[in-house]
Amino acid sequence: MKRTAILSILMGLAISTVVIQSCKKNDTPAVVTKPTLYDSLGSTTMVTDPKNSSAKIEQGYLTIRSVIDSTIFVIAADDNINKFFNVLLMEVTAGNTSGFSALSKNLSDFVAVGTGAKNFTYGGKNMVAAHDPAQNPRMNGKAMNDDFDSFEVDLVKGAGQNGIMPDNPALKSLAAIVESLRTQVVQN
Ligand code: HEM
């Protein structure tokens, strides 16, 4: 074979390699996903569940559940709004924590899904039904705007008990989600 023919074959090979490489690049574009609020709360990193040392739990879910549980306790002691939770509080006082566990799970699942968690689903009532005493006998009366404000203050306190301070950007984002639900919860 002539030298020029070999050269042109080699050049052709070089060009097709470049084309294949660029095709490959186009076929498999890098997937760039924006971090979610759930990611900033700890994401899917598995850690030991402090409530059950033989189980693992996603750090993001653990952060949320810890804040929720603390907030439920803050609400229980808050005379501005604890009357709404009278069914729950009577149960707990009588030593029955099943309602507390169910509320903790539903609230945590709700917030987890709302902040971008992928491995959880919310199976409770929608926000209107959950806060309408006619549809949820565990809701003792209709919440007013003032009650909602108290709920938000208690949530910030619950977060603070877990080292999440009011200037934390994740808490600010969460507060914005909570605020967006005001009209569904306050139904007067
Ligand atoms: C954006 C704010 C709020 C969110 C995301 C929220 C979320 C929830 C969720 C997910 C449930 C459980 C529903 C179910 O199990 O099917 C629930 C129940 C309840 N919520 Fe809210 N809530 C909010 C604000 C409030 C406020 C302001 C009050 C009253 C002042 C309130 C009082 C209650 C009560 C009494 C229950 C029933 C608790 C029980 O199971 O014993 N919530 N809420």
pTM: 0.85
The more confidently predicted of residues 101 and 3 is 101
57/93 same-domain check: yes
The more confidently predicted of residues 91 and 6 is 91
| Ligand 1 lined by 147 (C-beta under 6 Å) | yes
Closest protein CA for atom 17 of ligand 1: 130
By the 8 A CB rule, do 158 and 74 touch?
yes
> In sequence order, which ranges of 53-168 are alpha helices (DSSP H)?
59-76, 86-93, 98-115, 127-130, 145-160
Which stretch of DSSP H or E encloses residue 49?
strand 46-49
66/1 same-domain check: no
Mean pLDDT of 149-175: 97
Which ligand 1 atom minimizes the distance to the CA of 103?
40
113/174 same-domain check: yes
76/138 same-domain check: yes
- Predicted confidence (pLDDT) at residue 18 exceeds the cutoff of 80: no
| Rounded Cα gap, residues 113 and 115, in angstroms | 5
By the 8 A CB rule, do 115 and 37 touch?
yes
Q: What is the pLDDT of residue 55?
A: 98
Q: Longest Cα pair distance anywhere in the chain, in angstroms?
A: 97
Q: What is the pLDDT of residue 140?
A: 98
Instruction: Among 92, 107, 128, 144, say which to mutate for ligand 1: greatest number of ligand atoms within 8 Å of CB.
Output: 107
CATH number of the domain within which 57 lies: 1.10.490.10
17/63 same-domain check: no
9/62 same-domain check: no
Chain-centroid distance, C-alpha 67: 11
Instruction: Tell me the average pLDDT of the chain.
Output: 89
Which ligand 1 atom minimizes the distance to the CA of 186?
27
Closest CA to 174 of 156, 161, 188: 156
Mean pLDDT of 166-180: 96
Give the count of alpha carbons within 13 A of 110, CB side only.
Answer: 17
The more confidently predicted of residues 7 and 71 is 71
What total of structural domains would you count in the chain? 2
| Ligand 1 lined by 186 (C-beta under 6 Å) | no
79/112 same-domain check: yes
Measured in Å, residue 131 CA sits from the centre of ligand 1 at 6
pLDDT band of residue 13 (cuts 50, 70, 90) is very low
Q: What residues make up the domain containing 15?
A: 1-32
| Rounded Cα gap, residues 86 and 139, in angstroms | 8
| Ligand 1 lined by 171 (C-beta under 6 Å) | no
12/47 same-domain check: no
Token pair in block for residue 45:
């990193």
Mean pLDDT of 5-25: 43
By the 8 A CB rule, do 97 and 149 touch?
no
161/100 same-domain check: yes
Give the count of alpha carbons within 13 A of 24, CB side only.
Answer: 6
| Ligand 1 lined by 85 (C-beta under 6 Å) | yes
1/94 same-domain check: no
Handedness of CA 166, 168, 169, 173 (dihedral sign): negative
R_g over Cα of the chain? 26
Token pair in block for residue 90:
């009577």
| Ligand 1 lined by 185 (C-beta under 6 Å) | yes
- Predicted confidence (pLDDT) at residue 133 exceeds the cutoff of 60: yes
- Predicted confidence (pLDDT) at residue 24 exceeds the cutoff of 70: no
28/105 same-domain check: no
Mean pLDDT of 22-27: 52
| Ligand 1 lined by 81 (C-beta under 6 Å) | yes
pLDDT tens, position by position, 77-89: 999 999 999 999 9
| Ligand 1 lined by 100 (C-beta under 6 Å) | no
Measured in Å, residue 163 CA sits from the centre of ligand 1 at 23
Mean pLDDT of 128-137: 98
50/121 same-domain check: yes
Mean pLDDT of 124-153: 98
The gap between the terminal CA atoms of the chain, to the nearest Å, is 91
